[in-house]
Amino acid sequence: MHFFLDTADVDVIKKLAETGLVDGITTNPSLVMASGRRFDEALKEICTVIDGPVSAEVVAMDVDGMIKEGRHLAKIADNIVVKVPLTFEGLQACKTFRAEDIHVNVTLCFSAAQALLAAKAGATFISPFVGRLDDIAQDGMQLIEEIVQIYSAYDFETQILAASIRHPLHVTMAAKLGCDAATIPPKIFEQLIKHPLTDKGLDGFAKDWAKTGQTIIR
């Protein structure tokens, strides 16, 4: 399973990329606003830090506008993935981009029917928003399961990128269902490695080692 960071904060990306565990980045207009950076400048820097896919979202709502913005974004770096919304216009733009060998992340997916259309449009990634479904008392993981089943039945190449991750359990559940990737807020990414029993065990080892009076390197 690939781990993407869902952020436009370059400093955070640099820090977590040092783990060697970050496979890609997703951004959106809200994350760009939070970063306080110019979009194009932040993308250029992110693409020098991360070799994997970096999703950059268009903001136009019409097909021509999406295509114009997407082509511009794709020129920033070879690993840019143009992000479009799951609308008829977004799917039309997706078809055009894929014909031009531009990778596409179709975002804001909330149903298996939408995911099927995105795959038929040639999307590189489909981004089902599991957390937002959970927020309205629907089962986000059921959506992941349905998409996995459909894509497997028809050998679609579109990768399932679980989005709107709210907690570490979302990540492990998506992995168990066969999700290709998850895009994770930095805070959740750091929580994946934490466990109170790990901390307790380390504390006990450290105290016992100190009692020996030894050092590993003399």
Q: Which amino acid is at 155?
A: D
Q: Estimate the crossing angle of helix 39-49 against helix 10-17, to 10 degrees.
A: 10
Output the CA angle 156-129-98, nearest 5 degrees: 40
Separation between Cα atoms, residue 171 and residue 3, nearest integer Å: 9
Torsion (CA) 36, 86, 51, 41 in degrees, nearest 10: -30
Separation between Cα atoms, residue 4 and residue 179, nearest integer Å: 13
Per annotation, catalytic residue among 14, 75, 83, 187: 83
Q: Estimate the crossing angle of helix 88-99 against helix 112-120, to 10 degrees.
A: 30
Answer yes or no: 83 catalytic.
yes
Q: Provide the 10 A C-beta neighbour count for residue 122.
A: 19
The residues annotated with a catalytic role in the active site are: 83
